[in-house]
Amino acid sequence: MAGNRRKKHHFSRIHAFSCGKTSFKGDHSLIGGPGFSRVVHCNDPESFEASVLNYSGNYVRTTKYTLATFFPKALFEQFRRVANVYFLICAILSFTPLSPYSAVSNVLPLVVVIGATMGKEVLEDWRRKKQDIEVNNRKVKVHCGEGAFDYTKWRDLKVGDVVKVEKDEFFPADLILLSSSYEEAICYVETTNLDGETNLKLKQALDATSNMHEDSNFQNFKAIIRCEDPNANLYTFVGSLELEEQQYPLTPQQLLLRDSKLRNTDCIYGAVIFTGRDTKVFQNSTGPPSKRSKVERRMDKIIYFLFGILVLMSFIGSIFFGIATREDLQDGKMKRWYLRPDDTTAYYDPKRAAVAAVLHFLTALMLYGYLIPISLYVSIEIVKILQSIFINQDLHMYYEETDKPARARTSNLNEELGQVDTILSDKTGTLTCNSMEFIKCSIAGTSYGRGVTEVERAMARRKGSPLEEEVTEEQEDKASIKGFNFEDERIMNGSWVNEPHADVIQKFLRLLAICHTALPEVDEENGKISYEAESPDEAAFVIAARELGFEFYERTQTSISVHELDPVTGTKVERSYSLLNVLEFSSSRKRMSVIVRSEEGTLLLLSKGADSVMFERLAENGREFEEQTKEHINEYADAGLRTLILAYRELDEKEYKQFNEEFTEAKNSVSADREELAEEIAEKIEKNLILLGATAVEDKLQNGVPECIDKLAQAGIKLWVLTGDKMETAINIGFACSLLRQGMRQVIISSETPESKTLEKSEDKSAAAAALKASVLHQLIRGKELLDSSNESLGPLALIIDGKSLTYALEDDVKDLFLELAIGCASVICCRSSPKQKALVSHS
């Protein structure tokens, strides 16, 4: 087991959490009131106080039907179909004298048709039932008294149970994190099943419970959690934990959600707070809907049309029948003597010709019923079932790496697969592997790294240059370290000490080794260090620093330790840096920073982030290499690489003391705007930076992506890619993955025009925003004119739009024009787009 070889470390305040000292403000004052009334007796679910609360169990059901609801719900589903309603009426009428044939010949086809379709529903629901059984019978370790943990089925969990979840296991319910195998009670969580994010989330328990690392610690553990009632919001949580008569506020940082997975952590201990249908993932889910495909709805319209013809035929026939019946008996003479109009029932009575016509109309509706194809539905159901079997067994849709075949959970919508006209896709982790490799860097205005990327390879292919292919193959042979595909003899193997700006290179590599949230893991058998990071980028940077002579090897409660290459002696020396603060990365900040104190007592702010936010934070005397660095990151962007700018500055004691007081107060509050407050204070100190250089990492395309996109294009399916990359990077990656092809005409809508840049510098922000919107609108109108005037011979259109322009394009008065243009283009790339914009585009 990996945990037996792992050295224990302290990882305090990695994200500047302040767990045990937070104050009750804002939302926490609501605890105990409406919507915040849940009380959880931790480690005592069988107590009288807990039992009277009568919370739901952890058994979950995702089936569409139960034994009680199957017949009413399934019959309702069947009689939503127009043809079935018609044949039901005919079946009822077949038991009356109106019927032109026996009841059996009418009822039997209807029973067979409905029975076959309901049988298919039973089969598909049974598959869901089997999945429910598998999930409910999974096992997890639960504290059963005397400090002992034993395996219990998920379905038997109760609110208040203390569970022990081990590495790579799913959380069985919504838990409050009490402690973990790490000294500072942190853990990594994968939330792919909840939000599709592949990056790991870091959670940390309260200080009050963080020291309970062994099973025996829970022998006498008792606590009461008061928190919000079950709700669907995945990203907020308000609660408090009462332990030994002390109150501690709980935040989303302690909440572990059902269906997320424990990663890179040996085990955690948690208290169950929400079970079964009360968990947030189930609060967000809806029951299996009654889905009807476009083909089925079209069939209904055809049936309506045929039914209209049937009614018309029956109506005309009944009119003529009524007229003929009225004239059947005149002056004692019978025209249709074989119907005995002188001695008959209402069906042929000349004196009641109108009634006879109505009865004939009903008989005709039944008699001409063969116009309505009752077997059509059954034929289509059989075809759908066979299609779903073929999908499940299709080897081309089998993914060998994870041993996962395609699975059609319902056959109702099979034909919809052939009617998809647009696919919206993220880039990272979907088109690419989300496996980063450090390949190039720019330090002190000099570019290092001789690697060739897939995008450069694709560019070489477009230009017909075979040389690039050969270089790439050589590079691939040399790359043997995961996350590191860098080759440049000028700075490898300690050669950087001979470079002109060796002092800048030293600071650059030191920043890579210190400015991160990664955790080192030492294998005691061979002494090798591996890193556990929240994202592949972070891991790639730390690995690159290690390979270039700056090995991060230990993180203690308040420090980071690095083996550094001493440029004077040429030997490795141990240096320790006091870790004072971590200013976290977020999608809005687009950067992260750490504040450390060196062994000499110097206070350093080390920062890395996107070029869009870092260049504007440079000091006047920190821009020495700005122009060269900008040129290099543009080259890297053209090569399809992800870039980050690295910068630093020294802080004086007075400035840091003031910042730390404000920052600590903001982080310790638990108000709704806590993060915004902390970001505002961090903004004040992340300025006047000195530029060191830039990193470039490659996120390789997944195997078969260009071929897949090619096939989609041949099928007439349009692909929209939403990415945070720069426009140049996005365009070149578009070519590499066949999203953009030779002969495509590009419609580029950008806010990076000279006029836009001039407007942004103006003091009147509202006027600048209005002018930018007008510029975007003008570009959209020009694109729409090009679309309207284009024809196939000129080639398809591709729309490329950046994040700022997208903000205006998604406003209510412009959105329709943007969508018209986008829908008319064969490919759409939204670059520099934020997660919120990705969601807005998807919903539009």
Task: Please give the full DSSP string across 536-591, using - where no structure is assigned.
Answer: HHHHHHHHHHHHTTEEEEEE-SSEEEEEEE-TTT-SEEEEEEEEEEEE---TTT-E
Is 73 labelled as part of a ligand binding site? no
Whether the Cβ atoms of residue 509 and residue 545 lie closer than 8 Å to each other: yes
* Token pair of 779 as six digits: 């570009």
Q: How many Cα atoms within 13 Å fall on the side-chain side of residue 712?
A: 23
Q: Which residues of 65-91 are buried (b: 16+ CB within 10 A; e: fewer)?
A: beeeebeeebeebbeebbbbebbbebb
* Token pair of 123 as six digits: 């089969």
278 flagged as catalytic: no
Q: What is the dihedral of CA 781, 783, 788, 793, to 10 degrees?
A: 170
DSSP 8-state class, residue 8 = P
Is 642 labelled as part of a ligand binding site? yes
CA dihedral sign of residues 566, 567, 569, 570: positive
Is 608 labelled as part of a ligand binding site? yes
Whether the Cβ atoms of residue 87 and residue 365 lie closer than 8 Å to each other: no
The alpha-carbon radius of gyration of the chain (Å, integer) is 35
Cβ neighbours of residue 793 closer than 8 Å, sequence gap 6 or more? none
Q: How far apart are CA 581 and CA 556, in angstroms?
A: 14
Is 630 labelled as part of a ligand binding site? no
Cβ neighbours of residue 304 closer than 8 Å, sequence gap 6 or more? 82
Residue with tokens 């419609």: 747
Cβ neighbours of residue 559 closer than 8 Å, sequence gap 6 or more? 576, 577, 578, 579
Whether the Cβ atoms of residue 99 and residue 366 lie closer than 8 Å to each other: yes
Sheet strand arrangement including 261-263: 201-204, 186-190, 261-263
Is 461 labelled as part of a ligand binding site? no
Q: How many Cα atoms within 13 Å fall on the side-chain side of residue 507?
A: 20
CB 230: neighbour CB atoms within 10 A?
19
Task: Please give the full DSSP string across 29-98, using - where no structure is assigned.
Answer: GGTTSTT--EEEEET-TTSHHHHTT----S-----S--TTTHHHHHHHHHTTSHHHHHHHHHHHHTTSTT
Cβ neighbours of residue 230 closer than 8 Å, sequence gap 6 or more? 38, 274, 277, 278, 279, 280, 283
- How many residues appear in the chain? 844
Residue with tokens 């998809």: 420
Residue with tokens 């004298």: 97
CA–centroid distance for 143 within its chain? 34
Cα–Cα distances (Å) from 552 to 236, 439, 519, 535, 541, in that order, read 34, 19, 9, 17, 11
Q: What are phi and psi of 330, to 5 degrees?
A: -135, 125
Is 617 labelled as part of a ligand binding site? no
Whether the Cβ atoms of residue 483 and residue 536 lie closer than 8 Å to each other: yes
Whether the Cβ atoms of residue 204 and residue 253 lie closer than 8 Å to each other: yes
Specify burial of residue 606 (Cβ count, 10 A radius: 0-12, 13-18, 19+): buried
Is 723 labelled as part of a ligand binding site? yes
Q: How far apart are CA 469 and CA 449, in angstroms?
A: 17
Is 724 labelled as part of a ligand binding site? yes
Whether the Cβ atoms of residue 695 and residue 644 lie closer than 8 Å to each other: yes
Cβ neighbours of residue 607 closer than 8 Å, sequence gap 6 or more? 515, 583, 591, 592, 593, 614, 617, 646, 647, 648, 686, 689
Whether the Cβ atoms of residue 318 and residue 365 lie closer than 8 Å to each other: no
Is 838 labelled as part of a ligand binding site? yes
Catalytic residue among 259, 426, 537, 699: 426
Which residues define the annotated binding site for Mg(2+)? 426, 428
Q: Which residues are designated catalytic?
A: 426
Which residues define the annotated binding site for ATP? 426-428, 538, 585, 608, 642, 723-725, 832, 838
Which residues define the annotated binding site? 426-428, 538, 585, 608, 642, 723-725, 832, 838
